Each structure stands twice: as structure tokens, then as C-alpha cells.
Amino acid sequence: MHVAHAVLGNGVEKLQLFERLKRHHIFRVAVVYAVVAWLLIQIAAITFPLLLLPEWLTRAVVALILIGFPVALLLAWAFYVSPEGVARTGTDAVTGEVHPRARHIALGIGVVGILIAALAGGVYWHFDRGRIASAQARHVTPAVKRVTDTPAVESSPMSPNPVRASKSIAVLPLVNLSGDPNDNYLGEGISEEVLNALTKLPGLKVIGRESSFSFRNSNVSAATIGRELDVRSLLSGTVQRTGDDLRITVELDDTKTGVQLWSQQYDRKMQGLFALEDNISGAVVKALAVTLGAAAGQPLVNVGTANPQAHDLYLRAIRLYWHTDEASLNQAIALFDQAIAEDPNYAAAWAGMAQAYGYLADAYRAPLDVLPAMRGAAEKAVALNDKLAMGHLQLGFILMNYEWDFAGAKRELERAVALNPGLAEAHAIFGLYRLRIDKDPARARDEFRIAEKLDPLNAWFPRWEGFAAIAQGDESGAMMLAQRVRRLDPAFSYDTDAVAYVDAAFGHWQACVDRYTLAHVPVSPSGPQLAICQAHVGDSAKARAVIAQLETAARSRYVDRSHVAAIHAALGEKDQAFAALEQAYHDRSVHMVSLWMSPWFEPLHGDPRFQALVARVSADSASP
């Protein structure tokens, strides 16, 4: 009988506890909190990457939400809404003290809330694709650590390392005061020629065009620019044009102390522009007490032409080819052609034309179609002026990527670095040679890091270093570089998004798909990366739809068939993949020289046809 009463009492007590929990809306609070928390996490996961917020911030939001869960349950228990208003739970009406039973229930609710939050947190972190942390845990090998832990950047063997130079400078584009935006090219062109002249000096670190020119028309202080670019001196000024008359004012400032080191105003004619640029460069050298080295006794700015009209056309053209869209590139080539018609011996114009053709190749035109004009322009530049680094750089780039003359490419690229040791592009292209041809990703990263130091806001250089990191198996390093690309240029997506490429390279296929579909990263119109990842997660219909789109597009414009081959490879369709690669080989696609290291073609590595194709590219390089 006593036992029956005890059992009945326990049942009633449990029922009362359940009713009290319902009255305090404990279950309702838990459900509402969970729904709201899930929405907040989804919003953070989608919007934080778009706003370029750091990865840890998303994790911090999740942690705060989980910590808040047991707190919300305790508050729901401690205070509830009664007909008389808000009341505290389990308090004595006379003493105001909390009853022991209420304390015990609150303790139990808190423990349960903590356990649920801990379980949810464990599930979240287990399935979280926050990539960098997981990459560090899974893929860093001792060999990779030796690469990533090395702080020093080795210099190129043929010249002193400009990154270690004791003096540094950024050259901003001269501000146009004429009121006509069509004259903006003039200030940018003058500044770029001064910048390129200063890169010849091994004792001076000169920040590259991409980084320096990103501060055009900004109101950012010299001190801020100095911190952003890690540079001590800043050259800036204005230009005003009236017909052939120019008034140029320049000043050199110390970004750390704010002291103006030098300033000057020049009134010149257009035909005296080269002499003016050389005067400005010489004044900078004198103000900074830079050692001239091999440049001693020679003008820093080469007088490329005695024809002011040819020079003006050249300055208009170089501003256009930095845009890299097809219309601008075609217009730039037309302007270079006009400059050469004015002065056929204008070496810089020939080099500029070669570079513009290089931007057209693969992106808009089959490399084979533009190769004769592209190589001819580069060879003409070198023949006219053997000391023009840009001519050697363009010729080396063409010989490496499209002619497959690797010995000649190395000779030209080494010459470009020796002539302009502070030219970021020279180190970067030589880094591509170290990676693609020498198959030496460690030395390639050395060159890329020099380029990144010289032009720290240029997204191409960490992108290329990321390729080298992937070749080393350094997933954590590759992902950090990809995130850096994303911060520098959120819209950067040549062929593929940098982060998605790293995900795919290490087999995180769903994370790659989510990058495009959930994070809404732009998909390159001709890029195969999303389709490759869709094929690997089993969505073959969408992958084949992309192939159909590319095949349709190929009827009216150039399509890099290596992209089509990569999707077929992901689908396991090897015969179709090799057929597409044969066409890419014929077109001289740039991807042919990096077949051995491209993650896209890993499904083909066991096929003898793949090794034979790689060998054919190498054999062609040895052909006369």
C-alpha cells in the first residue's frame, strides 16, 4: 500500500513538473531559440564571406549562440508571465528566498541545456567546412611545414633581392587637373614609366603598379598608404595639359614622419616628356640616396621614341590593356599599331602589343591564331632594345606558354629579372617557369613571394603561389592564399574561384559546389570548376549541360578545350576527355604546359595516353 502511494506520488510529481515546465514555456523557448539560431547561423555563413569578414567571426557567432541556449532556458524558468504579471519562480512570498526544489529544477534545466548546446556544437564543428582549420589538421606534412615555416624569401640567383632593399617607394598616378577624364591616361602613363625606371635599381624596393594605382583618386593619407603597402616613401603629384603644354607638380613624402623630402614643378612640352620623367626619377634617387649600381651614368628612363605623337598613342594604349576585356585589348592593339606606324623603331610599343596579344590569347582567341603576331612583336621589341626588360619578359612568357621553347623562355625570363630586379611581374612569370617547367614548387614560391612583396595588392601573385602550394600538397597554405585572393579582389574568378579550386584540389567536392551555390560566388562563363565538382558529387546531368553550353559557344567563339576535357575527366569519360585535350594541344592552350600539376586531370593520370601527351609537350620543346 505504501509502495503504491509512493509510485502514485512520484507520477503526480513528474506530471506537475512537466506542467510547470509547460507553464514556463521551457519547450516553446527551446524550439523558438533553435529556429532563430539556425537562421542566424545560415545568414552568417552566407553573408560573412560576401562581406569579406574573417572565418573566425562565423565561428564566434555560433559559439555565442550555443552559450546563450542554456541561459535562455534558465531565464524562461526563472521568470514567467502570470495573470498578475512577471513573477520569479519558486520564491517565498514573505522572505523572497528561492525554494530548494526550484533551485534543483533550475540546475537540472541548466545541465540539460549545456549538454544539448555541447552536442549541437560538436555536430556543427564536425560537419563545418571552414576548410582552413580542417586542412591544417589533415594535410600538413613535415615536408610542407618546412616550406610554410620558412620566413625568409630567397632572391633570384641573377640579381639582389629587391625586397631586402633598405629604401622603398610607391608611385601614385598623377592626378589629372585638366577637367577632361579622357586625359587621365597621361598622368597614369607618366607615373608608370617613372615606376618602371625605378625598378631597375636593386637598392630600392618599388611597389608595383596594381598596388600603387589602387590608391588613385583617393583621399587616403600618405601614412595610411605607407602602412598598407609597407613602404617608406610616396611619390605623388598632378598634371595639367593644354594642347602640347604640360604643367606637372610632384612631391616625395616620408610616409612615417610626414616630412616632404622633395617637390618640384615642371612646365614642359609633350616632346620633352622622356627627359622630364628621367629628371623626376633622378630627383627621387638623389633624395633617397639610392645607390645606382649598374644604372650609374645612364638615363633611368629610356628615350623610346623621338616622336611625341607615337609616345602619346603608346600611353593611351597601355592604360587600355590593363582593363583586359576584349574590346579594350583590341583597341589597345590598334593604338600600338598606330604608334608603331609613327615610329617603327619604338621598342616599348612592340612590347606592349605583345602583351596585349598575350591577354587576348586563351581568354578570347585561340593562342595559335595570334601566336605569329604575338611572338613577332616580342622579338621585334628585343631586337630594337636589348635592355628593355618588358620585351624580354613578354618573349619569355610566349616561349614558355605557347611556343614550348623552354630553354629560350628561361633565358629571356632570367634576362628580364636581371634588367629590372624590382619588377614584380618579372619575378612572378619566372615563378611560373619554376613551377610549370622546372616542376620545382618550392623555388617557384620564392619568386611569387618576392612578387607579392613588391606588389602586395595584386591578386594574381597569391593565386599563382596557391598553385605551387597545391603541387606541394600544402592544403592549409593553399587555402590561406586563396582567402587572400578573395580579400584582395572578391570578383577574381579567372577560370575558377580561388577557394573553390583549393577545395576541389583536395577532394572537397561538396564544399566546392556549395561555394558557388550557397555562397553565390560568381561562376566564370567558360570556367569548368563548378561542373567538375558537380560531376564528382553525382550531379552528372548539370555537368553535361555545361559541356553542351561550351560546345555550342565554340561554334561562334574560341573555347579552351582543356575546360571541356576536365569535365569529361570528372565524369569518367576518358575517350572524350583525350579528344578534347588533343584539340587543346592543337590550339596551344596554356594549360598544356601544366597538365602534370593540374588537379582537373587527376582522373586521367593512370592512363598511358596522359603520360604520352605530357611527354609530347616536352618533346616539342626540344624540337628545332
**Cα–Cα–Cα angle for 428, 434, 437, rounded to 5 degrees:** 125
CA distance 205 to 209: 13
In whole angstroms, give the CA distance from residue 252 to residue 283: 9
Cβ atoms of 402 and 361 closer than 8 Å: yes
Cα distances (Å, whole numbers) of residue 492 to 164, 376, 433, 589? 30, 31, 23, 21
* Distance separating alpha carbons of residues 549 and 533, to the nearest angstrom: 17
Side chain identity at 386, as an amino acid letter? Answer: D
Nearest-angstrom CA–CA distance, 547 and 565: 9
Nearest to 425 by CA among 387, 464, 399: 464
Report the alpha-carbon distance of residue 209 to residue 422 in Å, rounded: 12
The set of residues, in sequence order, having a beta carbon less than 8 Å from that of 210 and lying 6+ positions away, is 455, 457, 458
HSE-up (13 A, CA, CB side) for residue 131: 30
Q: What is the DSSP letter of 399?
A: I
Separation in Å, CA 202 to CA 156, 167, 233, 294, 381: 12, 10, 16, 9, 24
Phi, psi (degrees; rounded to nearest 5) at 142: -55, -40
pLDDT at 133 (0 to 100)? 38
SS3 state of residue 231: coil
CA-CA distance, 202 to 75, in Å (whole number)?
Answer: 67
Could you count the other beta carbons within 10 Å of the beta carbon of residue 598? Answer: 17
Closest to 390 in 3D by CA, of 430, 332, 348: 348
Residue 206, beta-bridge partner list: 169
Give the integer Cα–Cα distance in Å for 521 and 510.
14
Q: What are all long-range contacts of 436-443, with beta carbons under 8 Å and residues at least 24 apart?
A: 436/400, 436/593, 436/594, 436/597, 437/400, 437/406, 437/409, 437/410, 437/593, 439/471, 439/596, 439/597, 441/468, 441/469, 441/471, 441/472, 442/147, 442/468, 442/472, 443/154
Contact of 107 with 139, CB cutoff 8 Å: no
Contact 310, 346 (CB under 8 A): yes
- Of the candidates 360, 426, 440, 362, which has an alpha carbon nearest to the alpha carbon of residue 397? 426
The pLDDT, as a whole number, for residue 490 is 85
Report mean pLDDT in 10-residue bins for the chain, 624 residues: 44 52 63 74 60 57 74 62 49 49 60 66 52 36 32 44 71 87 86 88 88 85 91 91 87 90 87 84 83 58 86 91 86 96 96 95 94 97 96 97 96 95 95 97 97 94 97 96 93 86 96 92 86 96 96 94 97 97 96 95 96 88 54
Per-residue pLDDT at 78: 62
User: Torsion-angle region of residue 243: left (phi > 0), alpha (psi -120 to 50) or beta?
Assistant: left
The CA distance from 102 to 278, in Å, is: 85
Residue 128 DSSP class: -
Is 170 in contact with 234 (CB distance < 8 Å)? yes
**Helix, strand or coil, per DSSP, at residue 175:** strand
Instruction: Say what the pTM is.
Output: 0.73
